[in-house]
Amino acid sequence: MHKRIWNSLQVEFTIVPKSPLLVKSGLVSPNPSLPDMQFVRTVTANGETVFIPGSSLKGVFRSFTERVLRTLDGWQGACDPFGDNSCGRKLANDEDTAKIYRNSCKACKIYGNTRFRGRIAFTDAFPNGEVKTETRYGVAISRLTNAVAHGPFEMEIVVSGSFSGSLAIQNFEVWQLGLIALTIKAINDGLVKIGFGKNRGFGEVEFKVNQAVLDLAKVKSKVPENELWGVGAFMASLDETKQEVNAYGLNPEDKLSGLPIVKFENSGIFERRVYSDNEWAAIADRAIESLPRMLEVKS
């Protein structure tokens, strides 16, 4: 499936902490002035700065997606990536890429496994201007004596500012877009948090979508202006790829309709549509509404 590019979506976002935020570094800094639990840092052209790694964001999205899919379809919806029933282990001896995709769980179809790469990628999120941090103190309480067992220890938290980054998904199915939109909604509703100390009240953020850029391949059957086609609809529309629809286990009606109509740009073999934050909100709502139909959830 990765041999062609049928569609791609890039979402530019801003993360604004609504409560203290700490994404811990796994290293001990040589700087003695930094707290025991320090925010992860990197060096940029403007010097050293705190940031939110793209891998951390991908982990948050995958974790929530897996829980949703297991609620709907048990371990068939999302395998245990580290267990004996993981898709990577079950399909270790298969070489047919279509069979590997078809027989992978839905979570692996988005985020990948050891047999094929995922559809989605996140950039690191860097600060927009100044980010204010402060140090907080904590202790570990003994469950036997109710006295201090360890500590006090220091935690470096971000209390104000914002971070910008982007996510991109390529050759996606509509239900995959719906699960991404559902995860963003859950983050904004406070159901999903980021980083360390979630039980301490840390990690609640606002996930603002600033802009969404959608590229759709130009095919013989032109995609209507108010529709978005998933990879299944694209492959079903061409004679040379129709047989691959069943091989990959795709839905030939992999479409989303009733979307905002925007001006499109001609970018070579693609039709590019640029959606504002409000227009993205309408797309997200439609994608979430389509999930029961696309995932064949029975009420």
Tens digits of residue pLDDT in 162-210: 999 999 999 999 999 999 999 999 999 999 999 998 988 999 999 999 9
Residue closest to 280 by CA, chosen among 171, 176, 180 = 180
Q: Is 0.85 topped by the overall pTM?
A: yes
Predicted local confidence at residue 237, as pLDDT? 93
Reported confidence tier of residue 47, pLDDT bands at 50, 70, 90: confident
d(CA 226, CA 230) in angstroms, rounded, equals 14
Reported confidence tier of residue 298, pLDDT bands at 50, 70, 90: very low
Residue 166's DSSP bridge partners are: 12
Q: What mean pLDDT is predicted for residues 220-247?
A: 92
Of the two residues 143 and 31, the one the predictor is more confident about is 143
Residue closest to 94 by CA, chosen among 85, 84, 81, 103 = 103
Predicted local confidence at residue 154, as pLDDT? 84
User: For the chain, how many residues are written?
Assistant: 299
Reported confidence tier of residue 299, pLDDT bands at 50, 70, 90: very low
Task: Collect all residues with Cβ–Cβ distance below 8 Å to 37 and sequence separation of at least 6.
Answer: 22, 24, 153, 154, 155, 156, 196
Q: What mean pLDDT is predicted for residues 211-230?
A: 93
Of the two residues 29 and 120, the one the predictor is more confident about is 120
Predicted local confidence at residue 56, as pLDDT? 96
Describe the chain by its helix, strand, coil percentages, rounded to 5.
30, 30, 40
* pLDDT higher than 90, residue 30: no
Residue 215's DSSP bridge partners are: 8, 272
Contact present, 25 and 53 (Cβ < 8 Å): no
* pLDDT higher than 80, residue 93: yes
Predicted local confidence at residue 268, as pLDDT? 79
**Average pLDDT over the chain, rounded to whole?**
90
What is the CA angle 28-138-39, rounded to 5? 35
